[in-house]
Chains A and B, each alone.
Chain A
Amino acid sequence: MKHSFIDRYSDLDSPVHRIDSRVKLLLVFLAIITVVSEPQARLFPFAFYGGLILVLILMSRLPLVFVLKRFMLLSPFILLAALFYPVSLLISKEAQLASIRDEPFRVALSIFCKAGLSILLLIWLISTEKFHNLLIGMRKLRMPRLIGIISALMYRYIFIFGDEALKTTRARESRTPGKLKMNKVKVYSNQMAMIFLRSWERSVMIYQSMLSRGFSGELPAMQRMAINRNDMLFFVSFVLGLLAIRFFVDPLVTGF
């Protein structure tokens, strides 16, 4: 199974890929906070945020088609969230906010933009940094140790789960000439149960091998991290860009 399924393109070499993972994490965090905190009445700034993210993606040399595909994969969920929220408010007897009652489309669009831009930022983040480095960065930024370990193990176990799913599917298909003639629900539920059990057993073995090599709850890093002048320059430029959109775009473009 391809191990780069999640952080695909994180091996690329671009100025953005070379930026310290902590800087990228902080930028994404700040950008999401800025985007999400935009008032619902302001829609035009989202185009500017989108432009800024596009610049990031281009600087990172990520294929736009790849980013778009990843985004499309998640867009139905964003769309549903965007539609359900105003609809639920509209049909609710407790709906008191006149602005929402009056402008459901604007609210839906605002939610879609906020969620969509946040997703794009996350796609950019995991495509420009190896997952392991992100975890190291998060730990350096004082993220709770337990969250780091859980994330690291989850990342690893996703592949175990995938491996076992692949093996059991091959075993099933190799004995299924043409269409499945048995009770599909039973076959698939048996397979799911087997995948779970086998993944569980393998996870136990992996944990034992980690313990054997001194694992005591820490995931130590081999490389030493250092924030250099380029990292700082990148960080400051991006934050200035965010602030400019947040505080200066609206007066320029009024009425939308």
Chain B
Amino acid sequence: MAAAIEIRDLGFSYTPGNPVLENINLDIEAGEKFGIIGPMGSGKSTLLLQLNGILRGSGTVRIGGTILNDKTLGLIRRRLGLVFQNPDDQLFNPTVEEDVAFGPLNFGYSPEEVTARVGEALEAMKLAGFEKSLSHHLSMGERKRVALATVLAAKPEVIAFDEPFSSLDPSMLMQLLDIINGLEATLVIVSQSLLPLVSCCRRLALLNNGGIVAVGPVKDILRDDELLRANGLDLGYYKKIYGELF
């Protein structure tokens, strides 16, 4: 069976001579929940944008066995949905319903099918009844769920999240983790918040200076203090606070 995501020798730079990604090689299995961590500016979000061709670098990216190129761009975007960090960047239609319908309509589904998908996606996000609500009047937690619904409505095989856990209070975080854990699609989650990844991911990749430093089981990576410190991530502070509190 083909890997859900297969990246080979990927490189990318916004300006010549300043590579943001270099020699990235990564395989993510179908159905896997995979986390990508790294310090700020390490290239995590840039890597996500490579997955559905928003940004294009050198090397190859395969989604569900299909190589990403101009001809397959539509298919790839149907297969891989991207949830942006800031829901306000994702929600650009006046109402929740129109925003959730945007993807399926663009992918050519009939209005009846789109209506059904919108209903399903909102139901899954516990947002039934919000169809006519104005996106801009919702709370951050609700907007995050609408943003996820906009992607779920297209029923992608892979969902890539960019910092899904930022700006959420603990109860919203728990809600989102429940939703993420309940998703059947392959998930790629980029996050600065390391702890939530423990509860939803099996493997992690550590990215720094545009390259993959380590790939392995979540607990192995997060227990390696030396590796984390050397790459700008340190859980020591959290461990200290946790030790004092409990």
Enumerate chain A interface residues (CB-CB to B < 8 A): 1-4, 130-132, 156, 159, 163, 202, 205-206, 208-216, 218, 220-224
Per-position binary interface string of chain B over residues 56-93, scored 1 when its CB falls under 8 Å from any chain A CB and 0 otherwise: 00000000000000000010011001101010111011
Instruction: Please give the number of chain B residues whose Cβ is less than 8 angstroms from any Cβ of chain A in the complex.
Output: 34
Which of B89, B103, B134 meets A202, CB within 8 Å?
B89
Whether the Cβ atoms of A216 and B106 lie closer than 8 Å is yes
Bound-complex Cα distance A177 to B2 (A):
62
Summarize B's interface: helix, strand, loop or mixed: helix
In the complex, chain B residues 9-26 whose Cβ is within 8 Å of any chain A Cβ: none
Q: By the criterion CB–CB under 8 Å, are B94 and A213 in contact?
A: no
Q: Is the CB of B101 within 8 A of A222?
A: yes
Contact A202 B88, CB 8 Å, known A211-B77, A212-B81, A221-B105: yes
Lowest 10 CB-CB distances: which A-B pairs, in order?
A214-B106, A213-B103, A220-B105, A205-B89, A212-B82, A209-B90, A222-B101, A214-B107, A208-B54, A3-B94
Tell me the B residues contacting A by CB distance below 8 Å.
49, 52, 54, 74, 77-78, 81-82, 84, 86, 88-90, 92-94, 97-98, 101-103, 105-107, 111, 114-115, 134-137, 150-151, 154
Once A205-B86, A210-B92 are accepted as A-B contacts, the answer to whether A218 and B106 lie under 8 Å apart by CB is yes
Q: Collect the chain A residues with CB atoms within 8 Å of residue B82's CB.
A: 209, 212
Question: Inter-chain contact count A-B, CB under 8 Å?
Answer: 77
Q: Are B105 and A222 in contact (CB under 8 A)?
A: yes
Nearest-Cβ distance from residue B126 to partner chain A, whole angstroms: 21
A10 nearest CB neighbor, chain B only: B94
Q: In the complex, A224→B93 CA distance in Å?
A: 18
**In the bound complex, what is the Cα–Cα distance between A156 and B107 (angstroms)?**
21
Q: Are A130 and B94 in contact (CB under 8 A)?
A: yes
Inter-chain pairs besides A202-B89, A211-B54, 13 sampled, C-beta below 8 Å: A1-B136, A3-B135, A3-B136, A130-B94, A131-B94, A132-B93, A159-B136, A208-B49, A209-B84, A210-B92, A212-B54, A213-B154, A215-B106
